[in-house]
Amino acid sequence: MKLLAFDTSSSAYSLALLNDNEVKVIHEVAPMQQSRLLLPAIEKLLQESSLSLNQLDAIAFGCGPGSFTGIRIAASTAQALGYAANIPIISLSSLAILAQTAFMQKNVTHSLVALDARMDQIYWAEYVINPQGLASLIHHEQICNPQNISSPSNNPDWSGIGEGWQRYQDQLISVLGSHPQSIYSDLIPHANAMIPLARAKFEQKEWVTPENAVPIYLK
């Protein structure tokens, strides 16, 4: 399989290119520069793998929630490339990508993900790693005040993931009534984690046409 994946929902632009069994990655923190850097990085990855856009089976992008500008950059880029190559688009939740990142980088199998949504609100979701090694959503993703988060499932071994934990840690722990195994508030979505999620969706034919590759804001 040949798959391009990218996410710009955070302060980074993160890309991964799967070429059969080889994965090449570019991941760089570059706030406010994603629109300038994303396309050259995509071109670089394709050139390094001696691939053209038309040879890809699909394109995956982080559809949000996250930075308003960032997810629009990712969505518009996915649309443009999808139209140009006439290939399907796979939309991936940025919260799911973050939970998968926590699993792949920190071996976290139960994530309570919190991102700062501004105006004293957070993007919130609970993810567990299923037997296939993929982040699986419990209940639903939401935007809410920290005191209105949904209660986690009956698993005491959870970790706090995402920069929302840096600002709202005390409030969240108070509402949850328990302490996490660990908190990784500095983790951001990594495109390497997008590859297994996107492959699973591709195999299930959970893709959209380019015109339907739209951001998710949870508003």
- At residue 219, the pLDDT reads 67
- At residue 69, the pLDDT reads 95
Sign of CA dihedral 140, 144, 150, 152: positive
Domain coordinates in residue numbering, the chain: 2-94+189-212, 106-184
152 pLDDT more than 90: no
Instruction: Please compute the mean of the pLDDT values over residues 185-205 and round it to a whole number.
Output: 98
Fold held by 106-184:
Nucleotidyltransferase; domain 5 (3.30.420)
The 3-state secondary structure of 114-174, one letter per residue = EEEEECCEEEEEEEEECCCCCEEEEEEEEEECHHHCCCCCCCCCCEEECCHHHHHHHHHHH
d(CA 120, CA 137): 24
pLDDT digits (tens, 9 = 90+) for 76-93: 999 999 999 999 999 999
- At residue 217, the pLDDT reads 86
Distance of CA 163 to the CA centre of its chain: 14
- At residue 205, the pLDDT reads 97
d(CA 108, CA 89): 28
Return the closest-CA partner of residue 97 out of 71, 63, 67, 131.
63
Return the closest-CA partner of residue 80 out of 195, 205, 211.
211
Cα 29–32–34 angle (5° rounding)?
A: 65
- At residue 156, the pLDDT reads 76
List alpha helices for the chain, DSSP H: 34-48, 68-85, 94-106, 164-176, 194-203
- At residue 155, the pLDDT reads 74
pLDDT digits (tens, 9 = 90+) for 99-146: 999 999 999 999 999 999 999 999 999 999 999 999 999 999 999 999
- At residue 151, the pLDDT reads 79
pLDDT digits (tens, 9 = 90+) for 12-63: 999 999 999 999 999 999 999 999 999 999 999 999 999 999 999 999 999 9
Fold held by 2-94+189-212:
Nucleotidyltransferase; domain 5 (3.30.420)
